[in-house]
Amino acid sequence: MVKKEAYAVPLLLALKDLIHHTPPDQGPPGLQFLPAEGPIPEESPREFLEAPTAVPEHIGIFPGSFNPLTLAHVELIRQAQERFCLEEMILVLDSRAMDKEIFGASLEDRLVMLRLFARAFPHYRIALSSHGRFLDKLQALRQRYPFASVSFYFIVGYDTLVRILDPKYYVDREAALRELFQGSYFLVANRADPASPQPPSSPAGHHCEAPRPAQDELAGGRAEIEALLDRKENQAFRDRIAFLPLSSFYASISSTMVRERVARGEEISGLVPPEIHGFIEETKLYAPPVAVVQSGRPTRIDRYGLRLQLLDRLYQKAGPEDLPEFQADLKELLGLVLQDPHILE
């Protein structure tokens, strides 16, 4: 399945087109929902729930750059679902993440990796966000779930919480944060700390928790969050923020670590889910340039970079009406380009 998705030209071009036509950050906030399997519809699917009894009451929202998804992300999702009885989990890729440039995996490949991971979980969903601010995401979610019974739980790291509370992102900080925290909870993970204790597994038959103030949790990393929430300007939001304690093992895993290990040729199977590992290996994502001989001369080629160039050319060649039916053997084309990169010139 990994190889099929990695070289599925109609899928990759449809994702590229979806990203290309995502509304700009200056426009109304929006979320494009994607199926975890099958083709990408021409318009983002909007499955409206007919009966109020079918509406999930607790929805987890995990926004991120997912460059790539790691086992730390997976552990955060597991803890949040288990402790707060989240009936639905939405993995949100920011098409225009705040303060971050796009590097490493292309956005379409990040969506492919999320699809590969999420399809094993029926209550996981994937969405592409046009806006980086959490308040914009919340407004878009309210349009999709316009039910008073629904509670949203954003899963974030400590550094993200710091940015959320930073006044530089707001014209009227107090009004914006009041609206944000009235409409959602934030579940915050600690940063890496070798002294963090291993959190015990939840006992069988445990009850779901209501989010509690972060200082009530007994785990490593608590002090940082406490200090942040003790500030006078943040105290009003304390009861909407809970702590997700990651063990030192999971807290030490980062997407940066994965990218750096791949670049050094080191093993990453204990850092990412198997589907993500397979995709990275298959596409040579994050890998260093490979040494080859062309026309009798040694040279170095970025295999993943060639993949992106080739997909860009195919996207330029295919018209919008051709995308669902556009056929090309991407793996064979990559082989030809590796033999002679000048084909792309």
Per-residue pLDDT of 18-41, as tens digits, reads 888 876 655 567 788 888 888 777
Expressed as residue numbers, the domain containing 317 is: 289-345
Give the residue from 340, 316, 339, 341 showing the smallest Cα distance to 328.
316
Asked if residue 46 is part of any domain, the answer here is: yes
pLDDT band at residue 3 using 50, 70 and 90 as cut-offs: confident
pTM of the model: 0.85
Could you give the number of structural domains in the chain?
2
Q: CA 219: distance to chain centroid? A: 25
**pLDDT number for residue 131:** 85
Residues 102 and 238 in one domain: yes
Peptide bond into 194 cis (omega under 30): no
Neighbours of 35 (CB within 10 A): 15
Residues 221 and 335 in one domain: no
Residues 301 and 248 in one domain: no
Asked if residue 191 is part of any domain, the answer here is: yes
Distant-in-sequence contacts of 228-231, Cβ < 8 A, 24+ apart: 228/158, 228/161, 228/162, 228/165
pLDDT digits (tens, 9 = 90+) for 135-161: 999 999 999 899 989 999 999 999 999
Task: Check residues 42 and 238 and name the one with the higher pLDDT.
Answer: 238
Asked if residue 284 is part of any domain, the answer here is: no
Lowest mean pLDDT among 46-55, 275-284, 309-318: 46-55
Residues 192 and 58 in one domain: yes
